[in-house]
Chains A and B, each alone.
Chain A
Amino acid sequence: MRKIIILLLSCCLAGCLSQNHHSGRHDHPHFTKHYEKSLFQKTSGEQFSVEMVLPAEGFTVGNNTVDLIFHNRRDEDVAQAVVSVAQSMDMPGHSNMPVSTIIERGGGLYTVDNLNLPMAGQWNLLVKINKNGVMGETTFPITVHNKGESAGMHKHSNLDPTTLNVSTTVHSLNNLFEVSYHPMVQKITLNTMHAWEVTVKNQAGMPVTGAKFTISGGMPAHGHGLPTKPAMAKELGNGVYLIEGLRFSMPGVWTIHFDISTADNHDTAQFNLLL
């Protein structure tokens, strides 16, 4: 019963407030959202609206670029304003964050470059604007993912240990290479640093020489990367390469990505391992 009374009272109050709003029609701000895929907020004091267009893959660990679009109370573009952005996390030790570069593009659009977000998790982005002494600020709560995690999670959807493809020979994603690995130990065991011999062939089955490797990977189910940073140590000839620095620290499903570049081609091969 008490709740109903409170509800009724709230409705009455809300009605009064909206009435007041209409009576002050002259000063009513005309904020509208202009971009479909943006986060929209009004600044404190309701002098400006801010739209934030997120990077395509969302915020990721490292440097990000984000667009901010400002409009005033009459929904006009805000040009030549002083804009600043400060990133913070609700944990200590993030007081001195690197400063981003802000470039005005025109039409009220400001691009924030080098927005450094050093770790995954929940962050706050404080946006401040000063246009001829009229100031406003607002905070956007944002989620930061590890690189490749948000998009990568879908890619790794079939990592069920029972049906996992653990073949030691695979075709690269665009079928440019056939890649196989041979561990230089009898059996890959937890926490043993070891090397792999990796063989790369082209579509015609011929050895690929002079390839460069970028190696990444991790445990998709746990969202973490490799405990080490493996690298190609030596080209052994005939399309065979020595990859050193492999060590797996946990039982479960691991993925290893070989990003392979030659003078003409570039493709990625993915191996799955079950430890």
Chain B
Amino acid sequence: MKMAYTTFLLFTLTLMCGAASPSLASHSFDEHSWNKEQTKILAAMTLAALPALPVDSSNKYADNRQAIALGKKIFSDTRFSANKMVSCATCHRPDYHFTDDLPRAHGLAFTKRRSMPLAGVAFSPWLFWDGRKDSLWSQALGPMESAGEHGISRSFATQLIRQHYLAEYEAIFGPFPSLLQTHTPPAIARPADDNPKALALWNKLPEEERQQINKVYANIGKAIGAYVRHILPGESRFDRYVYALQAGDRDRMATLLTTDEALGLRLFIGKAKCTNCHNGPLFTDFDFHNVGVAAAGGTGSDIGRAEGIPKVKADEFNCLGPYSDATGGGCAELRFMNDDTTQFMGAFKTPSLRGVSQRSPYMHAGQFATLQEVLQHYATVKPDGRISAALNHRGLSTSEQHQLVMFLHSLDNVVLSP
């Protein structure tokens, strides 16, 4: 009896899967046919719809060619680390979509989160998974002084500039402070909250010297930020597919996306509701969501954006701070930031999906090794008071999950950088 029931169940399941299978579905309609409304949605997701780089009012060197060139050099200069082996490029590998292939970033030690990819990052109002920085230049300064990443101090970084990049620095930012030419501050001096000795040495420095160090340090960030700002996603098959759709070239469309990929795209903008969060030309809403992923082993709990909010507010290198170039009227994101931490417990920034299949692993602490695992998570995660209702993707069959993964491959690209 039991055996017969199991057989019946398997038969029913087979039937159900069959109904959703691409081979059957593809006979009933043309997967490359899109209505007017769908075409409009797809066009808004192409790189052609990406606006010009947003103005960074806090960094007046953001589009300065010399600053971009200097930033590029510092980006991969391992002298800016305690063991002379770590640079920005260690975790943001230019050959790996400016991220790395580790679940959690490793500079001098493992950090608690995954390195973020950088293509198109200039469009994001908030940086890091928890948005604890509000500009690229300010973001670049964080890892330098983080004990587990570069592990150096701002004092030491300014001396590296004096020794190795003085002419380039002065050509962009003007004279290097004379005080820092004649006096070398203690190499570890920084306003550290994790190193009492470094903090004591920092506090011992005269106020004027501290300000000058901060200024040069901010300028280092501004050069790196100028470089990173121009790292952009290259065109993908998806873009070319939509351009062919707009041109009415059905034959070309069929050469650009396979049946499964096109069906996956249909799910992406339709039933699967992926565009709830992954919308626009960069496939992100730049917002923060709790997606119900369990904390990674060994990292403890991580409240994400809820801890990023107070940090960005208190940051001396934020848009409203003394080292920002913004004048009145700027810094709208920071001034009008939703600072209700209770809404953002365990929430992390929505990453872009461009090039996503080329840069595993996934989620804020690399909890998933493959896109299949990510889709499986989204197909089963149940929204509740904590997990955003925007995440309601339940009921996606295995074959639909597969089609979505296939579609994500059509976003493969080459990252463009200066």
Contact = CB atoms under 8 A, between A and B. Distances in A.
Interface string A84-96: 0000000111000
Contacts of A171: none
A112 B386 CA distance: 24
Nearest to A147: B342
A91 to B, nearest CB: 7
A225 B338 contact: yes
Contact of B388 (A119, A222, A245): A222
A136 interface: no
25 contacts: A61-B342, A61-B343, A62-B342, A93-B301, A93-B303, A119-B342, A119-B386, A120-B384, A121-B386, A122-B384, A145-B385, A193-B125, A193-B332, A221-B389, A224-B343, A224-B389, A225-B338, A227-B285, A227-B338, A244-B335, A247-B336, A250-B276, A250-B279, A250-B285, A251-B275
Nearest to A218: B343
A116 to B, nearest CB: 10
Interface in B329-386: 332-333, 335-343, 345-346, 383-386
B390 interface: yes
B75 interface: no
B336 to A, nearest CB: 3
B384 A121 contact: yes
Interface string B230-257: 0000000000000000000000000000
B142 interface: no
Interface of B: 125, 275-277, 279-280, 285-287, 295, 300-303, 332-333, 335-343, 345-346, 383-386, 388-390
B388 A249 contact: no
A221 B391 CA distance: 11
Interface string A199-234: 000000000000000000001011111111111000
Contacts of B125: 193
B385 A119 contact: yes
A67 to B, nearest CB: 23
Interface residues of A, number: 36
B336 A119 contact: no
Interface string A231-267: 1000000000000110101111000000000000000
A244 B336 contact: yes
Interface of A: 61-62, 91-93, 118-122, 143-146, 190-191, 193, 219, 221-231, 244-245, 247, 249-252
A224 B276 contact: no
A93 B301 CA distance: 6
A174 to B, nearest CB: 27
Nearest to A225: B343
The binding surface of chain B is classed by DSSP as: loop
B385 A191 contact: no
A190 B384 contact: no
Contacts of B337: 228-229
Given A61-B342, A92-B295, A190 B390 contact: no
Name the 7 nearest CB pairs between A and B, nearest first: A245-B336, A120-B385, A93-B301, A92-B301, A121-B385, A249-B285, A121-B386
A259 to B, nearest CB: 16
Nearest to B288: A227
A175 to B, nearest CB: 30
Contact of B389 (A93, A121, A222, A244): A222
Given A61-B342, A93-B303, A224-B388, 15 more contacts: A92-B295, A118-B342, A120-B386, A191-B285, A191-B286, A224-B389, A225-B338, A228-B336, A228-B338, A244-B332, A244-B336, A245-B332, A250-B279, A250-B285, A251-B275
Nearest to A221: B389
Contacts of A247: 336
A226 B344 CA distance: 12
Contacts of A249: 285-287
